[in-house]
Amino acid sequence: MANTHPGTSSSDHPIAYLSDVEGIWEKLDSFCQDNPHVHLEAGERLVVRPGATFIYGGDAVDRGPDGLRVVRTLLEARRRQPSQVVLLAGNRDINKLRLLRELNGHPLPKTPADVRASPRPVLLRWIFDHTMGARGAFEFRREELERTGTPVSEEDVVDSFLEDVRPGGPMRDYLSACQLAHRIGNTLFVHGGVHERSLGVVPTGEHVEGVDAWVEVINRWYREQLSAFREERFEPDGTPAWEPLIAYQAPTPGERINLGSVVYGRMADTLNHPGLPSPALIETLARSGIHRVVVGHTPSGDCPSVLREESFELILADNSYGRVEGASRVFLRDDSIYVEGQVKLDDGRLERLRFQLALGDTASPIGRQLLDTGQLVKGPLESGDWLLFRALPRFQVEQLPVAPSALEGRALGPVRAAAQRQV
């Protein structure tokens, strides 16, 4: 059950990946500590070392009191090192474009009448709680503003969110620096997921053959949508010309996901248990030389989930809703990945997970599931045990250590196409 390769380390993997900080500065800070590729200069300025690439996978705000700080730090790094910093737009980032209209006389049709008639702070709290999955975002922003030492009213909080998306606003500029998809070597990065209904598809109805051509076209469509927002363009019927982007980053009406979107598609089942793409989609990706997909968006316990089938692997590295405060780290190169993370086991113990895994390694159980229990083998713990993971109802997870001997003779197989069961 080999899981390491002598003579290699995280410093040999020049792509550093982080996703879903969601306004919690401690996650960005912990990611940068003792990181061979990315560090915080003077505790604030994010610097990518020569020869490395830093990819932020989306969702910079909403669930912590440092959203503005995170956005400004990532944006400043992108502006200073544009060839080394890649920013992907997440749904929590894009949906803030809604606020400029909804807080200025155009709330969603489903907004209750009493909320429509209420002051703006009441409406904004309702929007966060009921349509953005961002309960607490209002108070987090108030806390962040109060740290400036000036009095902050509820109306000031509303104005702050509106200033975010007005000309010169940090979120407006941040989104302008983002993209929807990015390829490096044999790896494709998107925020949410890739499915048959999203790969090669552009919301205009256009279908593009080949991953590289599709990445170019979907990113161009994203930029055009942002231009429509900045220019406040409307269709003849009065519909905002950027409405397709708002729909693209949201669940399909009546569902919890959007399989036609790389932003809101999930590589997981209804319990958020991760699953590989279909064999047909893996083959389609392989024809374009893609053998790895890296996503955030879907909570997957305290450390990344790596799923494998032959020469293909899927990495889910969302950092939200975990039991630990810090962020995990994923480092990549074409032929292997390096993963680090802290895990709080079901019995309350804190453990450290760390491994390197070669693409196509058939000896390691990492990334396969026990066929009798459905548990995913996540990786080796520093204690010498192996970590087993399973998603449970009501957004709970199971994180159990087992001795290496407990895996011997057990049937292992790929976690197949779980995401398709949500359709």
Sheet holding 350-358, edge to edge: 85-87, 53-56, 15-18, 329-333, 336-344, 350-358
CA-wise closest residue to 300 among 198, 181, 193: 193
pLDDT reported for residue 156: 97
pLDDT reported for residue 3: 43
Residue 388: φ, ψ to 5°: -105, 140
3-state secondary structure of 370: strand
pLDDT reported for residue 423: 32
**Model confidence, pTM:** 0.96
Q: Which residues in 290-328 belong to E strands, given as ranges? A: 292-295, 305-309, 312-316
Please report, for residues 34, 38, 140, 244, 315, the alpha-carbon distance to residue 30 in angstroms, rounded to integers and kept in the order given: 9, 11, 20, 36, 20
* Residue 159 identity: D
Question: From CA 340, how far away is CA 352, in angstroms rounded?
Answer: 8
pLDDT reported for residue 150: 87
* Token digits of residue 309: 């089938």
CB 422 within 8 A of CB 257: yes
pLDDT reported for residue 395: 85
3-state secondary structure of 246: helix
Q: How many CA atoms lie within 13 A of 287 on its CB side?
A: 10
* Token digits of residue 5: 């390769």
pLDDT in tens, 400-421: 999 999 999 999 999 975 444 3
pLDDT reported for residue 259: 96
Which residues of the chain have a pLDDT value below 70? 1-8, 417-423
pLDDT reported for residue 417: 54
Please report, for residues 153, 154, 244, 324, the alpha-carbon distance to residue 146 in angstroms, rounded to integers and kept in the order given: 10, 11, 36, 26
- Which residues are within 8 A (CB) of 250 and not within 5 positions of it... i.e. 6 or more apart? 91, 95, 258, 264
Core vs surface per residue 181-213: b (16+ CB within 10 A) or e: bbbbebbbbbbbbbbeebbbbbbeeeebeebee
The fold adopted by the segment(s) 10-90+178-364 is Purple Acid Phosphatase; chain A, domain 2 (3.60.21)
Question: From CA 307, how far away is CA 33, in angstroms rounded?
Answer: 27
**What are the domain boundaries of the chain?**
10-90+178-364
- Which residues are within 8 A (CB) of 203 and not within 5 positions of it... i.e. 6 or more apart? 221, 244, 245, 247, 248, 260
Question: From CA 253, how far away is CA 239, in angstroms rounded?
Answer: 18
CA-wise closest residue to 389 among 330, 326, 327, 322: 322
CB 419 within 8 A of CB 193: yes
CB 220 within 8 A of CB 214: no
Beta bridge partners of 187: 184, 292
